[in-house]
Amino acid sequence: MKINADFNQRAVVHSATMDWVDSPMPGVTRRPLDRVGNEVARATTIVRYQAGSKFSPHVHSGGEEFVVLDGVFQDEHGDFPVGSYIRNPPQSSHTPGSEPGCIIFVKLWQFEPQDRTHVRLNSNFMQAIPHRNHPGVSVLPLYYDEFEQVDIQEWQAGVEIAMPVEQGMEILVLHGEFSESGDRLVKGSWLRLPAGSSLQAAVGNKGARVWMKRNHLKNVDEQVKRVLAV
């Protein structure tokens, strides 16, 4: 299966307008944003757990990264409310579920294979730092290494933001709205920009809060090869 699988192209998906698609587990449904592969896939997805639903215990051979958008995500490592950011590296395992129900934004098979760093953060307890190069932008750093930079950014109303995209960028709108290259992105909208392009965002009158990942597409071909070899 291929969905938005040309990583040299700009992609926009308004997830709130999509139908939910059943997963192999009862009570767990999905909205695919990009995907290469079948059930084992390099994938970016909005996933909904109905109250009381859960997945079987499993190992994340290619790693898993997610943000809790609604409700409370749960596994044997804890309860993770809205605003939580989790990285489960390759070879980690858990039994995910949610007694109250939840919605998460999740990325699979997008880690470097040697990565063993666990991250469990609650952004609600983090203080945003003013961006040194972009007035009106504040940053909550979530994860930085030589392969990628991940943060939550708060954009003030009316700000115009121009950023170079050296090795790819993804943005998920958590709150508010902005416009980019003729598209209006609102809560739940997802934008992927290819390497060598630029972000040209005009923020709406209520501001915006976004999850952003940068410089992570330089090794995308290797990620695809690894998942297709499984």
Q: Where are the domains of the chain?
A: 2-8+18-122+219-228, 127-214
pLDDT given at position 89? 96
- Give the pLDDT score at 128: 95
**Residue 85 and residue 121 in contact, taking contact as beta carbons nearer than 8 Å:** yes
pLDDT digits over 54-70, tens only? 888 889 999 999 999 99
Query: How far is the C-alpha of 89 from the C-alpha of 63, rounded, in Å?
Result: 4
Where residue 127 falls among pLDDT bands split at 50, 70, 90?
A: very high
Share of the chain above pLDDT 90, in %: 94
Reading phi first (left if > 0) and then psi (alpha if -120 to 50, else beta), residue 176 is in left
Give me Rg for the CA atoms of the chain: 17
The amino acid occupying position 101 is G
Task: Determine the Cα–Cα distance for residues 21 and 219; give it in Å rounded to an integer.
Answer: 29
Average pLDDT over residues 174-188: 98
Per-residue pLDDT, 69: 98
Architecture field, domain 2-8+18-122+219-228 = Sandwich (2.60)
- Percent of the chain past pLDDT 70, that is, above it, reads 100
How many CB atoms are closer than 10 A to CB 110?
21
Q: What is the DSSP string of 10-72?
A: -EEEEGGGSPPEE-SSTTEEEEEEEEEESSSEEEEEEEEEPTTEEPPPEEETT-EEEEEEEEE
Q: What is the pLDDT of residue 193?
A: 98
The Cα 115–Cα 108 span in angstroms is 14
Checking if the pLDDT of 53 tops 90, the result is: yes
Per residue in 80-117, pLDDT (tens digit) is 999 999 999 999 999 999 999 999 999 999 999 999 99
Same fold flag, 2-8+18-122+219-228 and 127-214 = yes
Q: Given this model, what pLDDT does residue 3 score?
A: 97
pLDDT tens column, 6-33: 999 999 999 999 999 999 999 999 999 9
The pLDDT score that the predictor gives to residue 181 is 96
What CATH superfamily classification does 127-214 receive?
Jelly Rolls (2.60.120.10)
Whole-number Å distance between alpha carbons of 230 and 220: 16
